[in-house]
Structure 1
Amino acid sequence: MENDAVRADRRCDDGRVVAMTDETRDISAEDVCILIPTLEEAATIGDVIDGFHDEGYTNVLVVDGGSEDDTREIARDRGAEVFVQSGDGKGQAVREAMRYVDVPYVLMLDGDGTYDPEDAETMLEPLAHGYEHVIGNRFADMDDDAMKALNGFGNRMINRAFRFIHGADYDDILSGYRAFTVESFERLALDSDGFTIETELAVECVKHGVDTTVVPVSYSARPEESETNLHPIKDGGTIILALYSLAKTNNPLFYFGSLGVAGILAGGVIASYVLWRWIQYGAGHEILALVSAAAILLGVQLLMFGVLSDMLVTLHREQRRRLEQITREARQGNDDD
């Protein structure tokens, strides 16, 4: 994992080799918007904002999901810009908040006090070296009581599923501590409304070739007076379904291939039962035989469709990379002139 130095070149998760230089961008605190989605965070939001002010970041944008406590009032008193989102859910809040961002970089985190403002420099440093999206890895320095055993197990299973389905290792795709360029965010096609926004961000980064890296951050337990809005079983299941659904356009071979294999296996089981009944009792089941044949044929067709879709996605990515290379070369030529 690269987060301490810039090399002459770098191989991305999808196999691309990206040329890098020793030049770094100059990112000042004025270039960064601290984006904090909130919902009932009166117990912690003040300390979070104060923490970033202590680090020199004064451009703080709080997007509130309709809190009934004093979240908005406290945030305004601490000098943050505050607005209430028009819809529901964290994903919708993030998309809407980006309309208010007028600087090139965003540092996004939850307002529950679990993330440390002192990690801001660690999060932003890779952007200065050419990366476009940074994920803070909570497991690198996590308090013992920061995450329940069930949540920790679920997080690791989801990360493994992401690595298997989408072919990238981001260590902690559910982390709410993110840093990214506004330009890279605008390239992503996001439509998630709820807590699956982090999952969708990770998948879209892979899909659109956004240069992404992971850095270690600290993760603290929620204060006792702060209640979580997460439901481990319900939200975990939603995230798993999102991972699978998003494979439709990012890894169609897996998506349609898994459906095809399921169809073939189901047809094979039914066909085996029909054959066993015929051998054992001499009784035929024409309808079940037709069902098994249809299931097998559908499974084969889905497999073929997955292969063809994967070829189209690969071709599309290659064309996009060529266009990006041409664009970079044209910009470089203009700069030289």
Structure 2
Amino acid sequence: MPCLNEAETLAICIDKAQAYLSDAGIVGEVVIADNGSTDGSQQIALDHGARVVPVAAKGYGNALMGGIVGARGTYVIMGDADDSYDFSTLDPFVARLRAGDELVMGNRFRGGIEPGAMPPLHKYLGNPVLSTIGRMLFRSEIRDFHCGLRGFNRESILSLGLITTGMEFASEIVVKSTLDGLRVSEVPTTLSRDGRSRPPHLRSWHDGWRHLRFLLLFNPRWLFLIPGSVAFAVGLLATVALVFGPLEIGRVGLDVSSQVYLAALTVVGYQAVLFALLTKLYARHEGFHLPRSQAFERFAERASLESGAVVGLTLFMAGLGVAIVQLATWGASGFGPQDPVDTMRLAVPAALFMMLGFQTAMSGMFLGILSVDIRRA
């Protein structure tokens, strides 16, 4: 149980957990991962037969990892120390763990939420939306990503290399367990009103954003690759199309001024695509567990400093070639006045291809840095 000033409810939680272990005939311990309590929670835990593991680094994720590392059992069941979860009814979790599941999640929406136990913002927006995004991005079957009551095989979870320090730790466990191919299941559990008189540590919008940010950054395809690809394709096609003259889409007319903005859209989209690919290549190089596909693996095998330099130089030279032709044409006319519209119609895509080429070459340089072999301790 993570603990930060839970003196009001800690004894109740510990007593329920101790009674469950005794009644079920399970050899186990109650571990309190104390995150710097100043209300005497540590002594309460000791008085009720629990073992206290001090965790100096602040944060929900830090507290839980400290407790998991300090635990001595094969299996760990974690839950909040605010009496919102009933530690006397853990049979479904133990049964699934004994059946070989490596992560067993509680589902409060299936088990029941007591009136007033969960704010409407969390019940009808936060949890459903974030859980849906998690299922969509990572092909997970879990429908309650943020249930605070869950059980797992200790060694399996430690092998995931969990790194987040705050409330998003709850999402990280589910995501990395799914990506690593662990056996994950879900059982109904109930959520009661917590027994504290003070407000909870959870900050709705702040912690919700941290969960969402983690989900999106851990799968750059939806945040960068897909939007970037759309922006790049639309911008590039429209920029090139305007080389041949104005365009009309319904009542909207597009010309060189639109071409400038479309070229900027192309650059922004291309940068987003490059960022997504470089993020995944870096994660692949460092051994992180991110979603991958056969197409990405084929790309990763071919991506290198040399290939980036070749593609980048080709794009740059294409733009430079157009610029040289324009310069030669201008010189042939004696460097006199030019039609600004006709000049821009070719100058914009020329500059665009030179920028894309330079971006590609610089990305290739970054890949070259990644490919340097180093000795790791």
TM-score w.r.t. the length of structure 1 is 0.72
For 1:45, the equivalent position in structure 2 comes to 10
Structure 1, unpaired ranges of 5+: 1-35, 316-337
* 1:312 to partner: Cα distance: 7.0
For 2:232, the equivalent position in structure 1 comes to 264
CA contact (8 A) 1:255 1:306 kept: no
1:120 lines up with 2:94 in the alignment? no
* 1:276 to partner: Cα distance: 6.8
1:95 lines up with 2:78 in the alignment? no
Query: Which whole-Å CA distance do the structure 2 matches of 1:123 and 1:238 have between them?
Result: 28
Query: Which whole-Å CA distance do the structure 2 matches of 1:281 and 1:145 have between them?
Result: 56
CA contact (8 A) 1:138 1:219 kept: yes
1:207 lines up with 2:179 in the alignment? yes
Query: Which whole-Å CA distance do the structure 2 matches of 1:300 and 1:164 have between them?
Result: 20
Deviations 1:138-188 (A, max 9, x none): 122210111111111210111111111111121111011111111211221
Structure 2, unpaired ranges of 5+: 23-27, 282-291, 299-377
| Alignment CA distance shift 1:230-1:262 (3 Å) | farther
Aligned length: 275
* 1:287 to partner: Cα distance: 4.3
**Counterpart AA for 1:151:** H
| Alignment CA distance shift 1:283-1:312 (3 Å) | closer
* 1:224 to partner: Cα distance: 4.8
| SS of corresponding position for 1:219 | coil
* 1:280 to partner: Cα distance: 5.2
Q: 5 Å matches for 1:71-110?
A: 71-110=41-80
Question: Larger % of strand: which?
Answer: 1
**Counterpart AA for 1:102:** R
The higher-RCO structure (CA 8 Å, 6+ apart) is: 1
| SS of corresponding position for 1:191 | coil
Q: Which has the larger radius of gyration?
A: 2
Identity %: 24
TM-score w.r.t. the length of structure 2 is 0.65
Deviations 1:73-104 (A, max 9, x none): 21111111113202111111222222322221
| Alignment CA distance shift 1:67-1:289 (3 Å) | same
For 2:205, the equivalent position in structure 1 comes to 233
CA RMSD, aligned part only? 3.2
For 1:291, the equivalent position in structure 2 comes to 264
Deviations 1:239-264 (A, max 9, x none): 1111111224xxxx445433424533
**Counterpart AA for 2:140:** A
CA contact (8 A) 2:238 2:259 kept: no
1:242 lines up with 2:207 in the alignment? no
| Alignment CA distance shift 1:297-1:73 (3 Å) | closer
Q: 5 Å matches for 1:4-19?
A: none
| Alignment CA distance shift 1:124-1:314 (3 Å) | farther
CA contact (8 A) 1:263 1:298 kept: no
For 1:156, the equivalent position in structure 2 comes to 128
Query: Which whole-Å CA distance do the structure 2 matches of 1:313 and 1:203 have between them?
Result: 20
Match of 2:116 among 127, 137, 145: 145
CA contact (8 A) 2:106 2:188 kept: yes
For 1:56, the equivalent position in structure 2 comes to 21
* 1:65 to partner: Cα distance: 1.0
1:311 lines up with 2:294 in the alignment? yes
1:193 lines up with 2:193 in the alignment? no
**Counterpart AA for 1:146:** A
**Counterpart AA for 1:258:** I
Query: Which whole-Å CA distance do the structure 2 matches of 1:74 and 1:257 have between them?
Result: 51
For 2:358, the equivalent position in structure 1 comes to none
Deviations 1:119-145 (A, max 9, x none): 212211101111111001112221011
| Alignment CA distance shift 1:112-1:294 (3 Å) | same
Bigger CA drift: 128-137 or 52-61? 52-61
